[in-house]
């Protein structure tokens, strides 16, 4: 069972970006570009949002 | 000066004559099979791998299938999404809830309602339950897009 939140997020980004790369592009180079841009953007933006949320923890 | 006759439009490609129903049904039964049936075997194999991997990760991460609860209107949308996975949804329900159940029994006093809720609560206690359920819902959404894509290809709207 996958317990790591980061690993889950990274796998999610990978799978979704591969899916959309094959769905929207037909050439291999374009697919790789979409995979890298979409997957990278999902991971980087998630980390940025996580750090922005860091000063605002949930009330206990 | 002689004028050349305007070019007649080419015959529609063979795929435009294919009934879109068959690839849609095949895509619902097995993710990617609709594309493979339309001659896109590489894409079909890639889609099958991605959707099944997303589904397996959803189960492995502690996700659970949705059951219709009248108190939660969004559960109706979620169950449509689950059903888009075709036979994989039956497997998911067996593995996560333990039986093929789609709706919570209505009366609060019904013991079956409490049994089902207890099984769902067991999954909710898993730390990555939210990820798992998101993976399962995403696999369903992917298959909806695949069914629509197979329809577009079969009707000649897309290569």
Nearest C-alpha in B relative to A24: B149
* Domain count of the fold of chain A: 1
Tell me if B134 and A16 make a contact (CB, 8 A cut-off). Answer: no
Q: How confident is the model at residue A58 (pLDDT cuts 50, 70, 90)?
A: confident
ipTM rounded to 2 decimals: 0.86
Residue B51 within any structural domain of the chain: yes
Residue A39 within any structural domain of the chain: yes
In whole angstroms, what is the distance from residue B133 CA to residue B140 CA? 11
Residue B126 within any structural domain of the chain: yes
Q: What is the pLDDT of residues B92-111, one digit of tens each?
A: 999 998 888 888 887 777 88
Residue B87 within any structural domain of the chain: yes
Chain A residues whose CB is inside 8 A of the B145 CB are 23
Q: What is the pLDDT of residues B125-149, one digit of tens each?
A: 988 899 999 999 999 999 999 999 9
Residues of A with CB under 8 A from a CB of B: 1-3, 5, 8-9, 11-12, 15-16, 18-19, 22-23, 26
Residue A60 within any structural domain of the chain: no
Residue B1 within any structural domain of the chain: no
Q: Which of B153, B159, B141 is nearest to B31 (CA)?
A: B141
With 80 as the cut, is the pLDDT of residue A28 above it?
yes
Chain B residues whose CB is inside 8 A of the A19 CB are 47, 50-51, 142
Query: pLDDT higher for A37 or B106?
Result: A37
Give the tokens for residue B38.
């339309």
Q: List the alpha helices (DSSP H) in chain B.
A: 21-29, 33-37, 41-60, 74-83, 87-96, 111-124, 129-154
Q: How confident is the model at residue B12 (pLDDT cuts 50, 70, 90)?
A: very low
Quickly tell me which residue has 């593995």 as its tokens. Answer: B95
Which structural domain range is residue A23 located in? Answer: 5-53
Residue A59 within any structural domain of the chain: no
Nearest C-alpha in B relative to A2: B61
* Domain count of the fold of chain B: 1
Query: pLDDT higher for B3 or A7?
Result: A7
Residues of B with CB under 8 A from a CB of A: 43, 46-47, 50-51, 53-54, 57, 60-62, 126-128, 131, 134-135, 138, 142, 145-146, 149, 159
Report pTM: 0.85
Residue B7 within any structural domain of the chain: no
Residue A58 within any structural domain of the chain: no
Give the tokens for residue A9.
């997020």
Residue A47 within any structural domain of the chain: yes
Which structural domain range is residue B149 located in? Answer: 19-154
Q: What percent of chain B has pLDDT over 90?
A: 54
Q: What is the pLDDT of residues B32-57, one digit of tens each?
A: 999 999 999 999 999 999 999 999 99
Residue B10 within any structural domain of the chain: no
């Amino acid at each position: 069972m996958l317990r790591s939140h980061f690993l889950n997020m990274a796998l999610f980004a990978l799978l979704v970006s591969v899916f959309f790369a094959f769905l929207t592009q037909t050439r291999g180079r374009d697919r790789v570009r979409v995979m890298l841009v979409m997957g990278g953007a999902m991971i980087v933006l998630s980390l940025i949002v996580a750090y922005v949320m860091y000063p605002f923890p949930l009330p206990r | 000066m002689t004028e050349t006759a305007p070019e007649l439009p080419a015959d529609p490609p063979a795929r435009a004559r294919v009934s879109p129903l068959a690839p849609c049904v095949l895509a619902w039964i097995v993710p990617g099979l609709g594309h493979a049936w339309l001659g896109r075997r590489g894409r079909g194999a890639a889609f099958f791998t991605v959707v099944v991997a997303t589904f397996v990760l959803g189960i492995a991460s502690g996700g659970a299938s949705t059951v219709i609860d009248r108190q939660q209107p969004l559960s109706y949308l979620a169950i449509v999404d689950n059903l888009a996975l075709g036979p994989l949804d039956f497997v998911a329900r067996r593995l996560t809830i333990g039986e093929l159940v789609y709706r919570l029994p209505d009366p609060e006093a019904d013991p079956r309602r409490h049994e089902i809720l207890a099984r769902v609560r067991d999954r909710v206690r898993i730390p990555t339950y939210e990820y798992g359920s998101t993976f399962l819902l995403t696999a369903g959404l992917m298959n909806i897009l695949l069914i629509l894509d197979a329809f577009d290809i079969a009707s000649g709207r897309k290569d």
